[in-house]
Amino acid sequence: MQQELWAEQDRLRKQAEAEEEERRREAAVKERLRQMKVDAARERLHEAMSPLEEAAKQVHAAVYEAAAAIRDSLHKHEVLHGASAKRARQLARWFRLMSWQKDAELDALIAELERLASRPAGKTKREPGPIGEVLDDIIGLCYADARALTEPTRMGALEL
């Protein structure tokens, strides 16, 4: 009789352990499914944001190239010539049209460049110092995005 009682208790204990193990497995499967859904949602979000990020980088790269060209002209001639001043003003107008993001720092730098380039030259030449500093700041801010667009990425290499 005692052995039957122990056997029954052992059977019930094993059954309870098996049920608990089954609950843990179900919980693990549910957690894995939840994590897969979260990962899929992140991937969809990344795919949706990727073209926008790419466009923002392209705007920064274009600003970088224009600012570098203006700075090169400034260093070559040691003054901001009319053509370079016009290009700086055109850059500012183009940036206002193309920039949909809130990039306050770059926006302020380009506005300052436009202000400095819009000053009438008259008989005095535009001082290269402040303009050069603003151009250097713009170039520094946009350099990373311009470089990222020119370097092949791992995904780009895989596509080849």
pLDDT at 145: 73
Contact 114, 60 (CB under 8 A): no
Going 119 to 124 to 129 to 132, the CA torsion angle's sign is positive
Q: Tokens 């049209």 sit at which residue?
A: 97
pLDDT at 20: 97
List, run by run, the mean pLDDT of 10-residue segments along the chain (160 residues).
89 96 96 94 80 82 93 90 90 89 87 89 71 93 75 50
pTM metric for this prediction: 0.61
Contact 85, 121 (CB under 8 A): yes
**Number of structural domains found in the chain:** 1
Q: For residue 12, what are the domain limits?
A: 2-159
pLDDT at 144: 76
Which ranges of the chain would DSSP assign to H, the alpha helix?
2-77, 82-98, 104-118, 128-150, 154-159
pLDDT at 125: 66
